[in-house]
Amino acid sequence: MLDGILQGLSTAASPVNLLMVFVGCFAGTFIGMLPGLGPISAIALMIPITYGFDPATGMILMAGVYYGAIFGGSTSAILINAPGVAGTVATSFDGYPLAKQGHAGKALAIAAYSSFSGGTIAAIFLLFAAPALASVSLSFQSADYFALMVLGLTAVSAFAGKGKFLIAVLMTLFGLMLSTIGTDQTAGLQRFTFGSLDLIDGISFLLLAMATFALSEALMVVLKPEKVSREAEEATKGKLGSMKVSKEEVKDLAPVVGRSSILGFFIGVLPGAGATIASFLAYGMERSFASAKEKLKFGKGSIRGLAAPETANNAACSGSFVPLLTLGIPGSGTTAVMLGALISYGVQPGPRLFVEQPAVFWSVIISMYIGNIILLVLNLPLIPYIARLLALPKQILTPLILFFSLIGVYLVSFNTFDIHIMVIVAIIAIIFRLINFPLAPMLLGFILGGMMEDNLRRALAISDGELSFLWERPITASILGITIVVLLAPLVQNIIDIRRKKALKVNDGEG
Amino acid sequence: MFGKTTKLSRRLVLSMAAAAVSVGMTMPLSSTSAADLEKIHFLIPGGAGGGWDGTARGTGEALTKSGLLGSASFENMSGGGGGKAIAHLIETAERQGDTLMVNSTPIVIRSLTKVFPQSFRDLVPVAGVIGDYAAFVVPADSKYKSFSEVVADFKADPKSVKIAGGSARGSMDHLVAAQAFKAAGGDPKAVKYIPYDAGGKAMAGLLSGETALLSTGLSEALELERSGQVRILAMTGENRIDDAPNIPTLTEQGIDATFVNWRGFFAAPGTSKEKVAAYNATLEKMYDTPEWETVRARNGWVEVFQPADVFYTFLEEQEGIVGDLMKELGFL
């Protein structure tokens, strides 16, 4: 194995390959920043360029593009609240508030450090445990995925401020309902399409995310111009580029990054879960671990809330290479494209890759490290400039956001109907914003809804309609058990708190 | 990775590469030498990066690069499972003299299930270009050594044979399985089909042990077999194929069922016979060019050329078989 690692290292560290990583990271970052162009499109764009390359070089370029695009996606989520891919939705929850408060540079820096740590820690796991983990990734059945999605939904509690729990649940349900529009995956029947051809494929995630987050946010600026004095605004602009992360913050974030990396990697290993679930679970987990005081900051600009999903998202991306390389199973869209690329190089991923073409196997993994490092080196100096984007006057920035979010959606489907739907959704989203209904739970419900339903129905079909699948398998039962604990813990905590307060009051009265 | 948002069609993996040439942009390719045909406008009923997209762009690339075609342009028009593009082609037929719309087996299935009101009869079928047979796959350590053993178990207890597939109930993978078990003397309605949203996930389901059999495309199955984790019990071609001579057909195991998932082109209604003949002549020449071979090999496509008249008869036949089956299964 050591031979393999050294061989991979020497391949990856050749000047040509280093240049490729560099070019890839750079190109990926910019492609990823455009809403609608995520890692999938970025990699797909690179494939024709890499024909004729040797497999290792091609994969190295693609790994660079991949990491670059993920980081680029986080950038638009943080700066303009436009999460172009589902994996960065959770990043925008706290990243965007931070940017709005004038900490754009810091938020981007934390995102970069977290991505780097998540990616690197996961790559280490990959290096040592990939072959062993292959069997883990196959032990998950539909029932277990269903349980995992239910656990993911508990992240909704993060948006339930005081007395808002019902509203958050309501919005989640609304999101779940939206996810049922279109052709039902299981039975192939149309639901809520009202006979419209355009609705047969359902509402796309990108459309919903752009309309509810980016578009409505930009329009809110027009509706409710913030009354900030010129001087205050100037002061904020000066700070935008500052990337200072204090020692206390680093100390605070280290355990977050550690936990989220492990969680993210293991979720990523499962072919049916992936970066989105990983980021939501990490976000929810961090919130459960946070102190009562820190909890309040979640969703309003908590650096923990930013670091957790960013780390997990990247760790999961590395994790998804386990089933790809060791089993030849693409667990995600991006890895499916990579599989296509590998095959076109004449490399067949699967259990034999490790034995038959160790050079490719190891150089892919090593290139992931190198991609991570180059990304950090490349992007840290760029952050102050990228962050300055927010310093653009609102009259210019707002139309730009509108333009990019609309065009991003249109370029994927080439369907003007999508633009109409987007405007309607944006108007509904603005109404929700005005009456203070949180939109994040809606998106959460929408993203998880489809996968949750498919897995539930599959599990039911496999168990011939018996509900026993919920407790028959230890994995399913334990995940559901954790879900119940997560849901009940705050309730129990509340009851204890109330009792304590009452007890205190009684004591006071006596005193 | 991003779950529902990435509605990857199961054959996407390979065709993505070709599609990627230009993500969603209309990119005219041109060549200078005298060409058979001046121009073709490819209408793609789905978004960038799907199987249809790959077929159209791949064919366009091979035709222009080999000099058979002057210039090719591409237009993506997704929506309605392809219905939007069909309606558009019919409505604007008089302006679409040089347009070829790509489509595949789902045009037959979706017009039967009334996803859209039109059928291939409302268009001018030009030719079937490439195809893929269906295949039945079991994990390498499965107790099943032949498809007849699966059939025997199915007949004893249909519920014991859960069949995974990478698309919804009532779509290709399901219908092929139902067709095979019906031809083997079983009840197609009793087929326990478990749908997954992509071929890769159906494969993971098979290997996790929650299903016994996987119904998928042969080219995808061959890739999986090469990685050593599965065995292919049977495929739905009429004869064994050169690329995989060791895989038996259903017919030679005494099960009279064949199926080919084709991809081909359609012209606007009213297109003249001469024009269709010209398209056919050009496409036929294309198969012998090295440029086509490059595109074909890159995507792992199987050549199944069906010129216009053969194509039309084939479509009618497929519609009959699929229609009967769907009626029997209660989808119609």
Q: Nearest residue on chain A to B46, judged by CA atoms?
A: A413
Pick the closest to residue B202 from B244, B246, B167 (CA basis): B167
Kindly report the backbone phi and psi dihedral angles of residue A242, in degrees, each rounded to the nearest multiple of 5, phi listed first.
-70, 130
Is A479 buried (19+), middle (13-18) or exposed (0-12) by CB count in 10 A? buried
Residues of B in contact with A45 (CB under 8 A): 20, 23
Asked if B197 lies within 8 A of A185 by C-beta distance, the reply is yes
User: Is the domain covering B3-131+261-325 a CATH 3.40.50.300 domain?
Assistant: no
Q: Are residues A100 and A120 in the same domain?
A: yes
Element (H, E) at A182: strand A182-183
* 8 Å CB contact between A171 and A438: yes
Of B12, B195, B228, the CB nearest to A350: B228
Give the closest-approach CA distance of A341 to chain B in angstroms: 7
Task: Determine the distance in angstroms separating the CA of B8 from the nearest CA of chain A, rounded to an integer.
Answer: 7
Enumerate residues 224 to 263 of chain A having a beta carbon within 8 A of any beta carbon in chain B. none
Residue of A458, A452, A440 lying closest to A175 (CA atoms):
A440
In this complex, is the C-beta atom of A142 within 8 Å of any C-beta atom belonging to chain B? yes
- How far apart are the C-alpha atoms of B279 and A283, rounded to whole Å? 56
Q: Is B79 close to A415, i.e. CB distance below 8 A?
A: yes
- A269 and A328: one domain? yes
Which stretches of B219-308 are assigned E, i.e. beta strand?
230-235, 260-267, 302-307
Beta strands B192-195 and B29-30, pairing class: unpaired
pLDDT of A259 reads 93
Instruction: Tell whether A203 lies on the interface with B, counting CB pairs under 8 A.
Output: no
B114 touches chain A (CB under 8 A): no
Residue A119 sits in the same domain as residue A36: yes
Mark yes or no for CB contact A328/B224 under 8 Å.
yes
Common-topology check for domains B3-131+261-325 and B133-259? yes
Closest CB from B8, B201, B298 relative to A344 = B298
Q: What is the dihedral of CA A52, A54, A56, A60, to 10 degrees?
A: -40
Interhelix angle A165-178/A440-462, rounded to 10 degrees, is: 60
C-alpha torsion A458→A459→A465→A471, nearest 10: -170
Identify residue B94 by its one-letter amino acid code.
Answer: E
Same domain, A173 and A60: yes
Q: Regarding beta strands B29-30 and B69-76, do their DSSP bridges make them parallel or antiparallel, or are they unpaired? A: antiparallel
Q: What is the DSSP letter of B16?
A: H
Closest Cβ opposite residue A140 in set B113, B170, B208: B208
- Answer yes or no: do A94 and A228 share one domain: yes
Q: Which of residues 120-139 of A touch B (CB under 8 A)?
A: 137-139
DSSP per-residue string spanning A377-395: HHHHHHHHHHHGGGGS-HH
Beta strand residue intervals within chain B, DSSP E:
29-30, 37-44, 69-76, 99-104, 124-139, 162-165, 192-195, 213-217, 230-235, 260-267, 302-307
Q: How many Cα atoms occupy the beta-carbon half-sphere of A231 within 13 Å? A: 0
Measured between CB atoms, does B248 come within 8 Å of chain A? no
The residue extents of the domains of chain B are 3-131+261-325, 133-259
What the block records as the tokens of A162 is 């005081």
The answer to whether B65 touches B18, Cβ cutoff 8 Å, is no
Cα–Cα distance for residue pair A190/A199, rounded to 1 Å: 9
Per-position pLDDT tens, chain B of length 332: 333 333 333 333 333 333 333 333 344 444 444 577 889 999 998 776 667 888 998 999 999 999 999 999 988 887 777 888 999 999 999 999 899 999 999 899 989 988 888 999 999 999 999 988 999 999 999 999 999 999 999 999 999 999 999 888 888 899 999 999 999 999 999 999 999 877 778 888 999 999 999 999 888 888 788 878 899 999 999 889 887 899 999 999 999 999 989 999 999 999 999 999 999 999 999 999 999 998 887 777 888 899 999 999 999 999 999 999 999 888 87
For chain A, how many residues are written?
Answer: 511
Mutate which of A41, A46, A138, A149 to test chain B, going by most B C-beta atoms within 10 A?
A138
User: Residue B153 has what pLDDT?
Assistant: 95
- Average pLDDT of chain B is 85
- Tokens standing for residue A293: 């005081």
Q: Within this chain, do residues A359 and A498 fall inside the same structural domain, yes or no?
A: no
Question: Which residue blocks in A290-388 are alpha helix, DSSP H?
Answer: 292-297, 303-319, 321-327, 333-344, 353-356, 358-387
A44 touches chain B (CB under 8 A): yes
Which DSSP state fits B249?
A: B
Across the interface, do A271 and B201 touch by the CB < 8 Å criterion? yes
Question: Residue A135 is which amino acid?
Answer: S
Q: Does B1 touch chain A (CB under 8 A)?
A: yes
Q: What is the pLDDT of residue B148?
A: 93
> Which of A51, A414, A421 should be substituted to probe chain B, the one whose Cβ sees the most B Cβ atoms within 10 Å?
A414
Q: Is A85 helix (H, G, I), strand (E, B) or coil?
A: coil
Å from A230 to nearest chain B CA? 41
Instruction: Using a CB–CB cutoff of 8 Å, tell me whether A328 touches chain B.
Output: yes
For residue A137, the model assigns a pLDDT of 77
**CB-based contact (8 Å) between A201 and chain B?**
yes
Asked if residue A129 and residue A111 are part of one domain, the reply reads yes
3.40.50.450, 3.40.50.300, 3.40.630.30, 3.40.190.10: which CATH number matches B133-259? 3.40.190.10
Nearest to B24 among A320, A330, A414 (CB): A414
Cβ-based neighbours of A227, under 8 Å, separated by 6 or more: none
- Asked if A356 reaches chain B (Cβ–Cβ under 8 Å), the answer is no
Could you tell me whether strands A182-183 and A190-191 are parallel, antiparallel, or unpaired per DSSP bridges?
Answer: antiparallel
The residue segments making up the domain with residue A480 are 473-511
Q: Is B320 on the interface with A (CB under 8 A)?
A: no
Q: What integer pLDDT is reported at residue A509 of this predicted model? A: 53
The answer to whether residue A469 neighbours chain B at the CB level (below 8 Å) is no
**Mutation target vs B (from A458, A463, A473; most B CBs, 10 A cutoff):** A458
B140 close to A (CB below 8 A): no
> Are residue A212 and residue A350 in the same domain, yes or no?
yes
Identify the burial level of A209 via C-beta atoms within 10 angstroms of its C-beta, where 0-12 means exposed, 13-18 middle and 19 or more buried: buried
A13: tokens are 């560290």
> Are B77 and A140 an interchain contact pair (Cβ–Cβ within 8 Å)?
no
| Residue A462 sits in the same domain as residue A511 | no
Contacts of A276 in chain B (CB under 8 A): 1-3
Domain count across chain A: 2
Residue A175: what pLDDT?
93
Condensed to tens digits (0 to 9), the pLDDT of residues B7-33 reads 333 333 333 333 333 333 344 444 444
Provide, as residue numbers in chain A, all residues whose Cβ is less than 8 Å from the Cβ of B19.
44
Give the Cβ contact number of residue A347 at 10 Å: 21
Q: Does A506 touch chain B (CB under 8 A)?
A: no
Q: Which of residues 85-104 of A touch B (CB under 8 A)?
A: 85-87
Closest by Cα among A126, A184, A60, A123 to A354 = A126
Query: How far, in Å, are A32, A52, A139, B231, B244 from residue B207 at the CA level?
Result: 34, 34, 8, 12, 22
B10 to chain A: closest CA residue: A336
Whether B2 contacts chain A with CB within 8 A: yes
**Distance (Å, whole) CA A348 – CA A339:** 8
Determine the residue of chain A that is closest to B204 in CA distance.
A138
Token pair, residue A32, equals 């990823």
- The ranges of chain A with pLDDT < 70 are 1, 36, 48, 51, 157-163, 225-241, 331, 344, 506-511
Same domain, residue pair A316 and A170: yes
Whole-model pTM: value is: 0.80
**Which member of B8, B195, B224 has the closest CB to residue A336?**
B8
Tell me if B200 and A330 make a contact (CB, 8 A cut-off): yes
Note the pLDDT of residue A36. Answer: 66
Q: What is the pLDDT of residue B26?
A: 42
B188 touches chain A (CB under 8 A): no
Instruction: List the one residue out of A221, A209, A162, A100 whose CA is nearest residue A442.
Output: A209
CA distance B252 to chain A (A): 30
CA nearest neighbour of A122 among A321, A277, A270? A321
Residue B90 contacts A, CB cutoff 8 Å = no
Check whether residue A390 and residue A505 sit in a common domain: no
